[in-house]
Amino acid sequence: MRFEHLVRPAVRLMKPYTAGTTVAQAKARFGLKNVVKLSSNENPLGPSPRAMAALAAIPNAHIYVDDDHTELRTRLGERYGLTKDHVLVGHGSNDVLMTIFATFVDPGDEVVQADPTFSLFPKDTALFDAVAVRVPLVDGVHDLDAMLRAVTPKTKIVIVCDPNNPTGTRVEADAFARFAQALPPQVLLVIDQAYREYMPPGSVEGVEVVRSRPATIVMRTMSKLYGLASLRFGYGIADPEIVGYLQRVRLPFNVSRPAAIAALAALDDTDFVARTLDVNESGRAVLEREFTRLELPFFPTAANFIAVGVPVTATAAYDALLERGIVVRSGDGLGLPGFLRITIGTAAENKTLVGALDVLAAGWAAPRQRRLA
């Protein structure tokens, strides 16, 4: 450790972000030919075809992109009946999150968040020498009353992930409205809605909260529904004054020209969006039915993934599926031991998954029966 003394104390304690296993890693580990990747909640239909068509010719790669992203921000603002000045763009919504922390969080500030929730919340909290106040989920759902009780004069931000990663659960809209109004007005409410478009009718719409409670930022992404995960485009919606502070901090040119071109084209891809939502909805119904048949407990999901319980360790179940060419996410690394987080795939991918689980569940049932005997 020749350089550890140079590193900030907060960083010394940190681990790098662990992304899900890649297809190449899975193939290499077990010499597999075909791999089904259901680990990172990507779009199983691929990217938006309109985005791909627009990317066929990227003009002016040698010229810096319009850093104001006037057209894209205007379009995004209009979608919500707002203006360009309500929109901050980012290199994925991860970048928006980091910009929020860099803009608002001082050392010692408290950041109230669920446990477990998206891993970058505690990570960014630690990076900025703030204190993560982690409020356990109840039955897999944010405990809004307990989160409210956790607010102190030191609280800078309260983050709600809706739907929550890794559980896929959502908060109830009426309860959330009461919670948002009860939060002291000086506390910044951050609502991560990376999976908003998958949610059923009547779910929380973060942008409405921005209207009724100005100290609120909603984060959205085009990585999931629009299939642009690798292009990196996410955005935040907030009061123009808040966006103005964030604009001071974000990196210049943090959204590349290809990302901006793809995002703009994808916004018009209504066919693709409809197909994606159809495939997700039917896949959800199939997986929930099959998990019930296999007696595997799961959290009701409002997203494009399901957290399903297994009667062995999550890592053992993850390994067993990987050996069969299916990559999922082990809950062991996500604060959800005993569960796998599985992206809802195409009909064929879901069938492969269920086939593998059928075989594995028979093996899992045997020791259970032995124990009962």
Q: What are phi and psi of 212, to 5 degrees?
A: -90, -20
**Which residue's CB is nearer to ligand PLP, number 43 or number 320?**
43
**Which residue's CB is nearer to ligand PLP, number 234 or number 345?**
234
We find the least distance from the C-beta atom of residue 5 to ligand PLP, in angstroms, to be: 32
Helix or strand run (H / E) with residue 115: strand 110-115
We find the least distance from the C-beta atom of residue 95 to ligand PLP, in angstroms, to be: 7
Place of tokens 């809209």: 173
Positions touching ligand PLP (CB under 6 A) are: 41, 92-94, 118, 161, 165, 192, 194, 221, 223, 229, 234
Q: HSE (CB half, 13 Å, CA atoms) of 192? A: 29
Report how far residue 142's alpha carbon sits from residue 93's, in angstroms, rounded to the nearest whole number: 21
Residues 53-90 as b/e (b if ≥16 CB within 10 A, e otherwise) read ebbeeeeeeeeebeeebeebbbbbbeebebebbbbbbb
**Which residue's CB is nearer to ligand PLP, number 102 or number 229?**
229
Give 3-state DSSP helix, strand, coil % of the chain, rounded to 5: 45, 15, 40
We find the least distance from the C-beta atom of residue 208 to ligand PLP, in angstroms, to be: 19
We find the least distance from the C-beta atom of residue 358 to ligand PLP, in angstroms, to be: 28
Residue 114: name the closest of 143, 139, 94 by CA: 143
- DSSP code string of 238-290: E-HHHHHHHHHHSPTT-S-HHHHHHHHHHTT-HHHHHHHHHHHHHHHHHHHHH
**Which residue's CB is nearer to ligand PLP, number 234 or number 331?**
234
We find the least distance from the C-beta atom of residue 368 to ligand PLP, in angstroms, to be: 32
We find the least distance from the C-beta atom of residue 51 to ligand PLP, in angstroms, to be: 15
Pairing of β 188-192 and β 216-221: parallel
We find the least distance from the C-beta atom of residue 112 to ligand PLP, in angstroms, to be: 16
Structure tokens at 102: 């860099």
Report how far residue 120's alpha carbon sits from residue 124's, in angstroms, rounded to the nearest whole number: 6
**Which residue's CB is nearer to ligand PLP, number 41 or number 350?**
41
**Which residue's CB is nearer to ligand PLP, number 155 or number 164?**
164
Sheet strand arrangement including 339-343: 305-309, 339-343, 329-330
Place of tokens 């931000």: 157
**Which residue's CB is nearer to ligand PLP, number 223 or number 254?**
223
Any bridge partners for residue 175, and if so which?
none
We find the least distance from the C-beta atom of residue 272 to ligand PLP, in angstroms, to be: 18
We find the least distance from the C-beta atom of residue 322 to ligand PLP, in angstroms, to be: 20
Residue 340: name the closest of 364, 306, 372, 293 by CA: 306
**Which residue's CB is nearer to ligand PLP, number 77 or number 234?**
234
**Which residue's CB is nearer to ligand PLP, number 44 or number 92?**
92
Q: 278: buried, middle or exposed (CB in 10 Å: 19+, 13-18, 0-12)?
A: exposed
**Which residue's CB is nearer to ligand PLP, number 345 or number 364?**
345
Cβ-closest residue to ligand PLP?
92
We find the least distance from the C-beta atom of residue 116 to ligand PLP, in angstroms, to be: 11
